[in-house]
Amino acid sequence: MNTEALAHEEHRDDFGSKLGMWLFMVTEILLFSGLFISYSYMRSQHPVEFHHAGAHLNARIGIANTYILLTSSLTMVLSLVAIQRGERLKSMLLVAATILLAAAFLGNKAFEWTTEIRHGIYPNSPHLATLPPGEQVFFGLYYTMTGLHGLHVIAGMGVLTWVLLRLAKGSIDRDNYVLLENGGLYWHLVDVVWIFLLPLFYLAA
């Protein structure tokens, strides 16, 4: 093996970086899976209550948000294609579009949450206490799971902003785009988790 290359401090291993990213995503999926297990168990205990509680949610907003996230995943993939072709500006624009779509998702989410809270539906609320126990735990899980997902959207926006800055600096280019790729992987994860959340809550009724 080439000792000169080994002596070089900055050894680069794109496959290794991606492996690390995939392992990290495994931990993320398992983090959510703890909640999915809780959801499944609670739903098996309270099938009727979950059905009723789900009817309180606005499925249209949920579906609109699904389209937004799916589109953002598309722009993310296209930005990777663009940088692989060396089109840096196009890649930057597409990452920026992804971030904007993420913001739109969060805006919808905020609107939704405030509406529900205005209707007195939030953990420990007096109104919620009048509902059957199964519906209370439904909304407890709803806020926990969509909230945790929302945090991941915010984290994803942070990651993508960083990717955007690195693109602007030119340290991500057509030969070295593993950072963009990993950022994209993370973003798809956020997307995939939402795809499971949609039927569990919005289509539960």
Partner 1 sequence: MSSEAPAPSYLVAPRTGLWSWLTSTDHKRIGILYLVSMLTFFAVGVVLGLIMRLVQLTTFHHLVTAQTYNALFTVHGVVMIFLFVIPGLPAVFGNFMLPIMIGAKDVAFPRLNLTSWYFFMGGAVIVVIALFTGGGPPDTGWTFYAPFSLKTGTNVTLAVFGAFVLGFSSMLTGINFITTIHRMRAPGMSWFRMPLFPWSLYATSWIQILATPILAITLVLVILERLLGIGVFDPAKGGDPLLYQHLFWIYSHPAVYIMILPAMGAITEILPTFAKRPIFGYKAIAFSSITIAGVGSLVWAHHMFTSGMSEFANMVFSALTMIVAVPSAIKVFNWTSTLYKGAIDFQPPLAYAMTFIFLFCIGGLTGVMQGALAINVHIHDTYFIVGHFHYVMFGGTGFAFFAALLYWFPKMSGRMYSKRGIYAAWLPLFVGFNMLYFSMMVLGLQGMPRRYYSHLPMFHVGHVVATVGSWFLALGLLMFFVTLLRAWFKGEKTTGNPWGGVTLEWHVPSPPPVENFEEIPVVTHGPYVFEQEAGV
Q: Is 44 exposed, middle or buried (0-12, 13-18, 19+ CB in 10 A)?
A: exposed
What is the distance between the alpha carbons of residues 69 and 61, in angstroms, rounded to a whole number? 12
Question: Does residue 114 belong to the site contacting partner 1 (CB under 8 A)?
Answer: no
Whether 111 and 99 have beta carbons less than 8 Å apart is answered as no
Residues 120 to 139 in contact with partner 1, rule: CB under 8 A: 123-124, 132-138
Contacting residue, 13, 48, 63, 117, with partner 1 by CB under 8 A: 13
Tokens of 97: 């579009």
Where helices occur in 55-177 by DSSP H, the ranges are 59-84, 88-118, 126-129, 133-169
Question: Does residue 148 belong to the site contacting partner 1 (CB under 8 A)?
Answer: yes
- Stretch touching partner 1 by CB under 8 A, among 30-38, 83-91, 94-102, 191-199: 30-38
If the CB atoms of residues 12 and 169 are measured against partner 1, the closer one turns out to be: 12
* Interacting residues toward partner 1 by CB under 8 A: 1, 3, 6-7, 11, 13, 15-16, 19-20, 23-24, 26-28, 30-35, 37-38, 41-42, 45-46, 49, 123-124, 132-138, 140-141, 143-144, 148
